[in-house]
Amino acid sequence: MQASEVPRAVAAARSTASSLGLTVDDALVLHDSNKLTLRLLPCDVLARVAPVAQQVARFEIELAQRLAESGCPVAALEPRVEPRVHEHDDFVVTLWTYHEPVTSREVPPADYAHALERLHAGMRELDVPTPHFTDRVEQARQLVANRDRTPALADADRELLGDTLRSLGRAIGERGGAEQLLHGEPHPGNVLTTEDGLLFIDLETCCRGPVEFDLAHTPEEVGEHYPDVDQDMLRECRLLVPAMVTAWRWDRDDQLPDGRRLGTEWLGRIRAALGR
């Protein structure tokens, strides 16, 4: 989120929660990306705030409710208020249960795989309209092809990323394996380690595709514990996903801290993996 918008976003979250009868004396910023994530105190509520024009909050709330009802490991909405999207000062605000993280232990790969398997099982039961994973690949490819959006990307790197996204996206899409609703980005940053076990957050990236696409976002050891994985497809997805993420790091509007350095580092890894 643009730095100039943060104070207004915080004010929108505080005002929304207060209007619903929750006591708010302070707001701690937990994460700042395309949306702002806050811990409101002393009511101890997690607020997620995004500009109205950039949000898919209604979809995320409805999906989170349905997954929670089926026992899937997802973060819960705040039970003291109505589960809906609130609008205030050109922002949308959603309120969630604050889950105290457990940071003293690493997540065993088998536990990570089991939690993701449970999430996928619940998602297979849902019929909701979502993009196909190849739509997201194409968005990344178009970003790379747009020199105005990615002015700092060198020609050789632009060609490398464009070719990788095009060829792998097509190859994986043409394999014809089973597809289903996916989280879209179940990487460690979207997994909470809590006393109640692992919980997945940030459902706005949901798409349809093979489970191997989701597994490609997780540490490599996780794929060894997930049942019935197409290892060839997983290897292709583990190259496709970094290519997509690298493309986003070269977006002129990308605000990830240290994003350009990461983009350069990941370009080197992709080049090495392809033998180029």
Residue 182 DSSP one-character state: E
57-69 helix and 109-123 helix, angle to the nearest 10 degrees: 100
How confident is residue 31, by pLDDT bands cut at 50, 70 and 90?
confident
Rounded Cα–Cα distance for residues 215 and 173 (Å): 16
Share of the chain above pLDDT 90, in %: 77
Instruction: Measure Cα distances from 96 to 41, 51, 77, 80, 229 in Å.
Output: 13, 18, 4, 10, 33
Q: What is the pLDDT of residues 239-272, one digit of tens each?
A: 999 999 999 999 998 877 788 899 999 999 999 9
More confident residue, 105 or 216: 216
Closest of 79, 84, 91, 83 to residue 38, by C-alpha: 91
Closest of 37, 57, 20, 7 to residue 192, by C-alpha: 37
Answer for the pair 99, 75: CB distance below 8 angstroms, yes or no.
Answer: yes
Q: ∠ CA 59-227-206 to the nearest 5 degrees?
A: 15
Q: What is the pLDDT of residues 86-129, one digit of tens each?
A: 999 889 999 999 988 887 667 899 999 999 999 999 999 998 88
